[in-house]
Structure 1
Amino acid sequence: MLQAVNDSGDWAEAGYDSFEAYARDRGVALSRAYELMTAAPVLQVMLSAIAEFPAMRPAVLHGKALRGIFDSDGESGVLTALRLLQERGEKVTVPALTAVCAELEGSELPAMQRPAAPRAVPPALAKVHRRAEAARKAVEDLDIKALSKLAPEADDAFEEIAAGYEEAAKRLRAAKKQAAAERKKREKATARTEGRKQVVSLGEAPAIPAQAVEKEPVG
């Protein structure tokens, strides 16, 4: 739907100044709109094959991960990637899809994209991390089309929820910035301490007695 409107320019005929304005009026940010358009044809293939992969839960991020192989090999490429994961007993996740697509395309998976072992979350952040993951999943699963029917009555609620996420993100980034500043302060303090130790060490070096210095004989 969004792709057709964008390609045809129907947003202009509908009285909008831009495709961005058209998407925003339907509760979709421009970046999200492009994500949906990228994933849409792949998600159609995944949904049509749900009987073959009953454990699969198609998501926009899965569609984005498979878009490259869809563009090169079409529906068969997507199904081949999914079947390979199923044969290996692997779940359909973004890292797994990225890896299998690179394998099928005969390219070396960049080290930075290799599925990494999950890093341990500090206990002080574990609870926040779990809630953030749940919130991210909830937002990812939003039915934009259904929610758009609630506008404009729910505009205030949309803004309040979005503002809550933005405020939480600001607080987390502020905490990260503060932690970096404290770490830098500790590193400087350590460097100064090490520097003083070196100066003291040099100052304590034993002096060579004058009488111990052998005088050269006068020629």
Structure 2
Amino acid sequence: MHYILQILPSLLGGAKLTLEIFFWTLVGSLPLGLIVGLGLTSHFKPLKAILHFYVWLMRGTPLLLQLIFVFYGLPLIGNGIFTLQRYDAALFAFILNYTAYFAEIFRGGLQSIPKGQYESAKVLRLSYWQTIRKIVTPQVVKIVLPSIGNEVINLIKDSSLVYVIGLGDLLRAGNVATSRDVTLIPLVLVGIIYLLLTAVLTFVLRKFERHYSYWK
């Protein structure tokens, strides 16, 4: 117990960075995912082609590779113009990656809305954006919420990949303590903290699902 109390502050410090990356990735990728999802359902073919390529690229390559490319590869382009700090590079890569996944989820939700909903909105003289905001989005949220929840759970675990560019997240803090003290106790604590985080997220997501369950 004395050893656990000694290493706990460093683990909690790493957990703080993990939660920051998790939070800002959601803040950036969820609205962008909805916008890209709307673009994927548009009738403007050049835009759809560009967005389909973007989604294919992000979903078809590992997030770890994308992190390495953003931090180590972009500075090689344009003589260092695109150099990013470690934290900024991690957020940029995570937002790009998760925007693509959320976009596909939102696309499926948008395409599941009957065309009659849009026609009824035209009869009511609602604009396109009013239709999206007041009629379509509330229904899409209910449809896509379970899939969004799965990606949110994955995000809290994927955040451990930032160790590859030298950020001191929760997993890195555990690895440092394990290597220094030659014991698996830090990694066990890391696993417990991840389990607690996912348990809290699962509880919150279930609350959201129950909130929207009256729309059937």
TM-score range relative to shorter protein: under 0.3
TM-score, with normalisation over the residues of structure 2? Answer: 0.27
Higher helix share: 2
Which structure has more RCO (C-alpha within 8 Å, separation ≥ 6)?
2
